[in-house]
Structure 1
Amino acid sequence: MSHLDLLLPFALPPTEIAPDLLKELDMPALAHLLSRTRPESDGPRVMMFDGYARALPHEAWLAGTFGLAGDRRDSSPPVASAWMRVFGHEADAGCWFVVQPVHIHIARDHLVLTDTRALTLSETDARTLFDIAREVFAEAGKTLMWGNASAWFLRADDWAELSTATPDAATGHNVDIWMPHGPCERDWRKLQNEVQMLWFAHDINQRREAAGERMVNSIWLWGAATPRQDLATAPYTHAFNLQGWTEALRLAVKSTGTASDARQVLVQGEKTLVLLDDLLAPALANDWGTWLSVLQQFEDAWFTPLLEALRAGHLDSVRVLAGDAARLARFSATRGSLRKFWIKPALSPLLT
């Protein structure tokens, strides 16, 4: 039996402007997949989340699906040890965090975390900034390890009880609400401030500022995990477009890759997960013109060929998972459910 899950973070438009946005879309294939569905067998169609949760709904769903939900609901998913393995590191003992270089914008009366995807940082510059941060943490008796230009890993056993948030959950918000809190939060902030001061005066940031680029002016801590918090057996045989921290999930599936079109994944068969996170950046930036353009492009690249594959029997079922900052809606379609001719195809289920 062949099944495909299509995960679309921020495909649910904001309630207050959703009707106006949907009027701009011409997506008959998506309308069929959303309207002619079957009931979900494992709970409500729309899963509601706390708007102040430490992970976005799609992040929490991915973590739970791959066994990384963790025991705490007041913190980000424990992804550090699994993500470390992507870079050849093993968390044999202790508590490890993800540390990411970020830009924090100074607003009129508060500080705002900006989208990490918008922070272009070369490996050479990242290595230089990493070395500075590593010395700061080493003096405090903590180990900082390199992953890549945008992800590092910190061992801090005594910080295990800190409550942290994923960068995407905090993006666009006042950082005071989303910063790590709990035991030892002052120790973290002290080291964070030391890194910030050393980075601020560095030639790299002076050069970036002169060029009109965002300064790399802080670090973000999240994803605390111990060695026992590792991936479970995946419910998928194939996964596509895993990037950022979701790269860690590829270790639990038989085959992974990248795909820009449904036709590239339909030949795989079995059970497939496709992550399309292109709507994340415009949604977090409230750029709804770009959001509309990106979603419309999915019609020809994804929804039309998936609908055709269902009708032809090349796929047994397709599930579209559409989220925003507080909801994750699931729409499961089969060849049989598409025969509900009395239901008029519409995009209105996205108003859910």
Structure 2
Amino acid sequence: MRLTLLIPELIWPEPGDRQTLDGLATPALGALLARGRESVEAAADNSADALIAAAFGLTDDVPYAPLRLLGEGHDPGTDHWACADPVHLRFHQERLILADGRTIAIDATEAGQLVRHLNDYFAEAGEAIEFVATTPDRWHLRLTAPADFRTPPLSAMAGRRVDRQLPEESGTAWLRRLLNEAQMLLHGHPANESRTDAGRLTINSLWLWGPGQLPTGLDRCFETVHSRHPLARGLAKVTGTACAEVPASFAELQQASAADGRILVLIEDLLRAVQYEDSDAWQQGIRDLEARWFAPLAAAVRSGRVELDLQSSTIYGLLGWNVRRGDLWRIWQRPTTIGAVAARLAGSTP
């Protein structure tokens, strides 16, 4: 089996956080990291979405919106789309911080009411655009023309400081106007008034990102993609690749896969813990992965049953470790620790 294993935020982003990193026992992962052939790409976009796209060969100007829409079960056709995800922006210590839709717990009724309100307003104003809420926290915007702007994916901004929502360029003036109008409409809607009365964070803005058309002619890279992520599922569909749920463990994956198959598995267990600086959740996630995935994987690689391509999006860049049978027999290379890897990548010492 040739396994591409994508795990966003495998390396904790604070190398000096000894409380989180010290004493975290991961001998199997440590052997994979120490003995695999490491690659580090200092990309402009180190997000989980960029990691997923790169696994399918997409690295520049990725049209995330139509791919994600396709993964949600909708046909984007040949239209131009942008992700228009509902968020809450708030000032904290003189900084503007973004909370994503999952964090502020938007329900389907609220999403439906707000999207209808936006669509009714812009239709009356003669704007031939359309908002589509595929889930309560994932919205899409059908555009009337190509929109050439680049903003980070929402996964890179959740829990982070926002400097600006759209580039200050002449070509985005109409989008900035649209966003300003949408913010005013959201602010005055009864759904948000009810949230305020209940002491809940309001849905006061949209995060626009990932514009483009659905790509064609992409090569098929895998026989099966195991993921719940709509972007990964969309990429699987557009490349004619079978898509399945994420196995609970490597043992379960082995039972479901051909011995000589080329498989991609995306595990998102660590992502939100890093986004919202929850070190306890990240530690527990690492321990679970060590038991369910890394320990049995190391044994399978050592026996020659698996060739592993482990990849992760991190603050240090897009990281990769290719590990084959002979690599794990280099026992003179002692297993490393996540803390040591983080310190090395950050240019410091543990």
Q: Same fold (TM over 0.5)?
A: yes
Paired residue for 1:240? 226
Question: Partners in 2 of 1:57 and 1:102 — Cα distance?
Answer: 18
Equivalent residue letter for 2:23? E
Could you say what secondary structure the match of 1:245 adopts?
A: helix
Quote the residue 1:48 is aligned against: 42
Q: What whole-Å deviation, never above 9, does each CA across 1:230-270 have from its counterpart, x for those lacking one?
A: 47123111222231433312313223222221222123131
1:259 aligns with 2:251: no
Deviations 1:39-78 (A, max 9, x none): 36xxxx11112xxx3x4344223213324434x4xxxx21
| Change in 2 beyond 3 A, CA 1:209/1:24 | farther
Instruction: Identify the match of residue 100 of structure 1 among 70, 74, 85.
Output: 85
In structure 2, distance between residues paired with 1:208 and 1:67: 42
Q: Distance in 1 between matches of 2:128 and 2:167?
A: 19
Selected match of 1:85 from 70, 94, 113 = 70
- Find out whether 1:136 has 2:152 as its counterpart: no
Amino acid at match of 2:122: F
- Give the drift of 1:166: 0.9
Tell me the amino acid that sits aligned with residue 185 of structure 1: T
Contact 1:4 1:274 survives alignment (8 Å) = yes
Matching of residues 167-316 of structure 1 within 5 Å: 167-227=154-214, 229-230=215-216, 232-251=218-237, 252=239, 253-267=241-255, 268-269=257-258, 270-313=261-304, 315-316=305-306
CA change 1:81–1:22 in 2 (3 A) is: same
**CA-based RMSD:** 2.4
Structure-2 separation of matches of 1:255 and 1:127: 28
Tell me whether 161-170 or 26-35 shows the greater mean CA deviation.
161-170
SS of the equivalent of 2:170 reads coil
State the AA in 1 paired with 2:59: A
Task: Give the Cα separation in 1 of the matches to 2:130 and 2:100.
Answer: 26
Give the AA of the match of 1:245: L
1:208 CA drift (Å): 2.3
Given residue 207 of structure 1, which amino acid in structure 2 is its aligned partner? S
Superposition deviation, residue 178 in structure 1: 4.6
Is the 8 Å Cα contact of residues 242 and 249 (structure 1) preserved in structure 2?
no
> In 2 relative to 1, CA 16–243 (structure 1 residues): closer, same or farther, beyond 3 Å?
same
Match of 1:144, SS state, is strand
Q: Tell me what 2:142 maps to.
A: 155
Please give the alpha-carbon distance, in whole angstroms, between the structure 2 residues aligned to 1:198 and 1:323: 35
Deviation of the 1:129 alpha carbon = 1.0
SS at match of 2:68: helix
Give the letter for the 1:302 counterpart.
W
Partner-residue secondary structure (3-state), 1:173: coil
Structure 2 counterpart of 1:325, which letter? I
The structure 1 residue matched to 2:59, chosen from 51, 54, 69, is: 69
Gaps of 5+ in 2: 346-350
Q: Deviations over 1:105-152 (max 9, x none)?
A: 222434221234313222122111111121233322323334222223
Verify the 8 A CA contact 2:3 2:308 in the aligned structure 1: yes
Aligned partners of 1:109, 1:230: CA distance in 2, in Å?
A: 44
The structural deviation recorded for 1:17 is 1.8
Partner SS state of residue 254, structure 2 = coil
- Sequence identity, in percent? 27
Q: Which residue is equivalent to 1:345?
A: 335
Contact kept, 8 Å, 2:250 with 2:293, in 1: the verdict is yes
| Counterparts of 2:41 and 2:68, CA distance in 1 | 27
State how far apart, in whole Å, the 2-side matches of 1:15 and 1:234 are.
36
SS at match of 2:182: helix
Report the more deviating stretch, 334-343 or 19-28: 19-28
The question of whether the paired residues in 1 share the 8 Å contact of 2:71 and 2:235 is answered with: no
Q: How many pairs were matched up?
A: 335
What TM-score does the superposition give when structure 1 sets the normalisation length? Answer: 0.85
Partner of 2:108: 123
CA pair 211-184 structure 1, distance change in 2 beyond 3 A: same
Stretches of structure 1 that go unaligned for 5 or more consecutive residues are none
